[in-house]
Structure 1
Amino acid sequence: MVQLLGTIRPSPSLSYFATYKRQLSLYSPPTKAPANGFSPFRRVFNSYLQSNSETTAAGSPCEHSEIIFIGTGTSEGIPRVSCLTNPLKTCAVCLKAVEPGNKNKRLNTSILVRYPRPSGNYNILIDAGKFFYHSALQWFTAYGIRTIDAVIITHSHADAIGGLDDLRDWTNNVQPSIPIYVAQRDFEVMKKTHYYLVDTSAVLAGAAVSELQFNIIREDPFVVQDLKFTPLPVWHGRGYRSLGFRFGNVCYISDVSDIPEETYPLLKDCELLILDALRPDRSSSTHFGLPRALEEVRKIQPRKTLFTGMCSPHFAEDQVLGMMHLMDHEKVNDYLLKLKETEGLDVQLSYDGLRVPAAFHG
């Protein structure tokens, strides 16, 4: 059920605003943007999914639904300034992350659910954290994403809602407003952190702020732009509730320290699981670590899994799966690929800019 707070004004129909040819696949993003801003991906993402090419003309809907990983990192992001300014330069992951196109660069965790309808392409964003502007600057321009039909919020930490103010660029220049779907507990937080967006009567005349229409969701299914979302309640630290979401056969859980028993039935027959995995050695008080995340994969048994929300902590080699020093993208993926041979687990790390073809059912 969704409780409407205010009137949602319809967004203009979605369309691409440039003519280009691209490949829809799990390939690496371009290391350097070409002059026209678009480029096909070049390297297969460890044969994870088959590629699927597509040509889209300006004004025509895309042919395939997809998920775009707008960000896959923690609240601090990677690289960290503290690592780059360390005179000893001991953090290999952060040093790699400054290289163009390196998959270790990770901004706040967020995905874009993109799917076609006769009237155009719908773009539904899940979370807009404090680095949202920087992520959108890179991936919205690279992939021809102009409008945002809705934003769904998982929880009210800064890495999920810190970018709401940046939505003013869309509501001032692209579309009249953006619907926000948020749980009541998180809306109460927004009343304090983003009071001027919740109650625009306090805004001075002539000031430009994001025009947002808040919709209260509960822990039962709701529909956004013809697509059904089923909340997946989880714990994100002791006593703190966060929401994952299921849409079609895709299950997305970005911030989790424990999954309640009542949530597991909602994960049944999941085709693609996108799951929190903060660090390589162990869980923290608020996030799954890689070992616990793998335990959950074995329990849920999705067809494919992509981990998200990674950081780059320092650990001794014998502390981290017996094989790796840091949460390095390539090293961890090499380890995960072996699990497919030994256990049949199809698991990999996601990365910023990754595009995954997926079928959604409204």
Structure 2
Amino acid sequence: MVLFLGAVRPAPSLIRFAHSRLQFSLSNSSISVSRYGSAPFKRFLQACLQSNSANVKTGIQIPAEQSEIIFLGTGTSEGIPRVSCLTNPTKTCPVCSEAVELGNKNRRLNTSILIRYPRSSGICNILIDAGKFFYHSALRWFPTFGIRTLDAVIITHSHADAIGGLDDLRDWTNNVQPYIPIYVAMRDFEVMKKTHYYLVDTSVIIPGAAVSELQFNIIHEEPFVVHDLKFTPLPVWHGQGYRSLGFRFGNVCYISDVSEIPEETYPLLKDCEILILDALRPDRSSSTHFGLPKALEEVRKIQPKRTLFTGMMHLMDHEKVNEDLIKLMETEGLDVQLSYDGLRVPVTL
């Protein structure tokens, strides 16, 4: 269920907003992700996941009719590299030192993905989370992959690395499109009313100032539909007493910020094809995030066909960790790898 709240706006903006408002159907949609079809498609998917830095620099050509997920960011709130590591005279952090290089897979911005899929009206672009570094991610990947519009933004939680980039959406609503729908839980919307009060109530801004034109839609912990694509919220804990949402669309399950998965959420993960899961560090979990050992434990329990980890800190060296993870395919049949900024994964929705 989605509750449309809109925003409080001055009369001119309200008129324009009313004319441009869209209504979304809440009818049940049957969506599935294929088992990657034929052998050529399997090889194509594997090629997308290979650790070849050239892929990051030039991008992979994907047919316009092919749905895909693009990882816009796969790092922590402060991103990688860390300034403190780069200015440390002892230079003890090889990951951050390597991450300075554009195209290095240890270079990570705030966790976020873009879902792209064809519709009769053209390609639809749905963003999950717009954090502090969103604009930098957009600068890097939108021109590279030919992305211009944002058809909706879905929010997982109200931390700065998930909503800190909402103000930057003004570039789209001022120059590309009249507004952007935002889908957010009520508890997180209440936070936005404080942190981004001028986006919720644009009547408070200085006359003539240009801010993001956002259409707020309240979601609950039940399925909702955005531009013909069904999303099922996956409620998880992101620290004690703090609720965050993952999302299932088709047979893709995305859980970017999690310290514990409640028992009632596991049935929603059944028959998951692609699992995108939080894995902060290589040795242990924190109070708010899975570490790699816990993430692997969850993979064994959920049993997805493929898993891509996200939200990695600077102790997670992309190449070294993936070299260890690939061994799990031989020993346990687990297809698990770290994702990276700019990774494109073809899917069928």
| Offset of residue 26 of structure 1 | 3.3
Q: 2:153 aligns with which of 151, 154, 161?
A: 151
Question: For residues 213-257 of structure 1, what are the alpha-carbon distances to aligned partners after superposition, in whole Å with 9 as ceiling and x for unaligned?
Answer: 000000000000110000000000000000000000000000000
SS of the residue corresponding to residue 196 of structure 1 reads: helix
* 1:160 and 2:149 matched: no
Question: Within 1, Cα distance between the matches of 2:145 and 2:55?
Answer: 14
Following superposition of structure 1 onto structure 2, how do residues 1-362 of structure 1 map, counting pairs within 5 Å? 1-6=1-6, 9=20, 25-26=48-49, 28=52, 30=54, 39-41=58-60, 54-55=62-63, 62-312=64-314, 326-360=315-349
Letter in 2 for 1:333: N
Q: Identify which range, 346-355 or 326-335, moves more after superposition.
A: 326-335
Structure 1 residues 285, 84: closer, same or farther in 2, change over 3 A? same
| Greater relative contact order structure (CA < 8 Å, 6+ sep) | 2
Letter in 2 for 1:237: G
Question: TM-score, normalization: structure 2?
Answer: 0.87
Maintained 8 Å contact 1:249/1:359: no
Question: Within 2, Cα distance between the matches of 1:288 and 1:186?
Answer: 22
Gaps of 5+ in 1: 12-22, 34-38, 42-52, 56-61, 313-325
What is the alpha-carbon root mean square deviation over aligned residues? Answer: 1.6
Structure 1 residues 26, 168: closer, same or farther in 2, change over 3 A? same
Question: Within 2, Cα distance between the matches of 1:156 and 1:250?
Answer: 22
Structure 1 residues 94, 54: closer, same or farther in 2, change over 3 A? closer
Question: TM-score, normalization: structure 1?
Answer: 0.84
Question: Within 1, Cα distance between the matches of 2:225 and 2:174?
Answer: 26
Maintained 8 Å contact 1:29/1:354: no
| Offset of residue 100 of structure 1 | 2.5
Letter in 2 for 1:151: V
| Offset of residue 138 of structure 1 | 0.2
Maintained 8 Å contact 1:31/1:102: no
Letter in 2 for 1:67: I
In the other structure, the counterpart of 1:318 is none
Question: For residues 283-338 of structure 1, what are the alpha-carbon distances to aligned partners after superposition, in whole Å with 9 as ceiling and x for unaligned?
Answer: 000000000000000000000000000001xxxxxxxxxxxxx3100000000000
Task: List, as ranges, runs of 4+ consecutive aligned residues in structure 1 with deviation greater than 3 Å.
Answer: 23-33
Maintained 8 Å contact 2:174/2:212: yes
Gaps of 5+ in 2: 7-16, 23-43
SS of the residue corresponding to residue 231 of structure 1 reads: strand
Question: For residues 138-158 of structure 1, what are the alpha-carbon distances to aligned partners after superposition, in whole Å with 9 as ceiling and x for unaligned?
Answer: 001110000000000000000
Structure 1 residues 3, 29: closer, same or farther in 2, change over 3 A? farther
Question: Within 2, Cα distance between the matches of 1:270 and 1:217?
Answer: 22
Question: Within 1, Cα distance between the matches of 2:21 and 2:79?
Answer: 34
Q: For this pair of structures, how many residues does the alignment match?
A: 314
SS of the residue corresponding to residue 70 of structure 1 reads: strand
| Offset of residue 40 of structure 1 | 4.7
Structure 1 residues 149, 32: closer, same or farther in 2, change over 3 A? closer
Question: Within 2, Cα distance between the matches of 1:296 and 1:32?
Answer: 29
